[in-house]
Amino acid sequence: MSFALGLTGSIGMGKSTTAQMFVDEGCALWDADAAVHRLYAPEGAAVEPMGAAFPEAIIDGAVSREELKQIISRDSSALKTIEAIVHPLVAADRAAFRENATADILVFDIPLLFETGGNAAMDAVACVSIPPEEQKRRVTARGTMTEAQFEQIRAKQMPNDEKCARSDYVIVTDTLDHARAQVQDVVRQIRAGMVNA
C-alpha cells in the first residue's frame, strides 16, 4: 500500500525543486504540468478532442498552449470547454500513475491542489512556502513574466497562508539545504507512520 502525498504551493515558491528532493528520497513523482504537456504533445490524448473543439489550437499535430491562451482571451467561456476536455484526461493519467507506481510514497505535484479539491484524494498534503517578497523576487528574476502577470496569477491562487494552514506539512524553501532537511523529515515521518499502521 502506498502513501499519497499532495505537494502544492504558489508560483515561485520552489515546488519543482522540492518535488525533485522527494524523488531523491525514493518517492515516485506525478507532475500535473508534465501530464498536461504529455496530453498536448503530438499523438497525446488531448489532441483529437481539442482539435474537434478548437481546430485552430492544433499546430504541427500538437495542442498549442499559446493558441489556447489567444482563444481564451477572445472568449472566456472557452476555458470551461478546455477544462472539460483536459481535466478527465489528467485524472486518468494520474490514476494510471497511481496504479503502476511501485514506490512506497507517491508525490503528486499539483499547483492548484486545494483550489480544485484534489486534496480530498491525498493521505496528506505538503505545501512549499517563502515570504511574499521573496516569492515576487524569484518570479520576476526569471524574466519570463511581468510583475502585472505575476500578480494576476497570484490573485487566482489561494493565499499562501491559507494553503499552509490547510496542509499537514509546510516546507520552507529559503535555502536548498533547509528545504532538503525538511523533505527528509517529512519522508521519515510518513515512513514511520506506514510501519506502525
Q: Which residues pair with 9 in a beta bridge?
A: none
Query: Is the Cα dihedral 57, 50, 83, 81 positive or negative?
Result: positive
Smallest CA-to-CA distance from 159 within 31, 51, 8, 43 is with: 8
Q: Among 17, 19, 65, which Cα is nearest to 39's?
A: 65
Alpha helices in 27-146 (DSSP H): 32-40, 47-53, 65-74, 78-100, 132-142
The pLDDT value recorded for residue 150 is: 85
Q: Over the stretch 131-182, which tens digit does the pLDDT of each residue have?
A: 988 998 898 888 888 888 888 888 878 899 999 999 999 999 999 999 999 9
How far, in Å, CA of 66 to CA of 68, rounded?
A: 5
Burial of 101 (0-12, 13-18, 19+ CB in 10 A): middle
H or E element at residue 31: strand 28-31
Sign of CA dihedral 25, 26, 30, 31: positive
Cell of 109: 505535484
Catalogue all structural domains in the chain, each as residue range(s) with its CATH number.
Answer: 1-27+103-197 (3.40.50.300), 33-102 (no CATH)
Determine the pLDDT at residue 3.
97
pLDDT of residue 76: 84
pLDDT of residue 32: 93
Q: What is the pLDDT of residue 197?
A: 66
pLDDT in the model for residue 148: 86
What are 113's three cell numbers? 491542489
The span from the CA of 86 to the CA of 97, in Å, is 17
pTM of the predicted structure, to 2 decimals: 0.89
Angstrom distance (rounded) from CA 88 to CA 15: 24
Low-confidence spans in the chain with pLDDT less than 50: none
CA atoms in the 13 A half-sphere facing the CB of 128:
30
The pLDDT score that the predictor gives to residue 142 is 86
Q: Match 497570484 to its residue by C-alpha cell.
A: 154
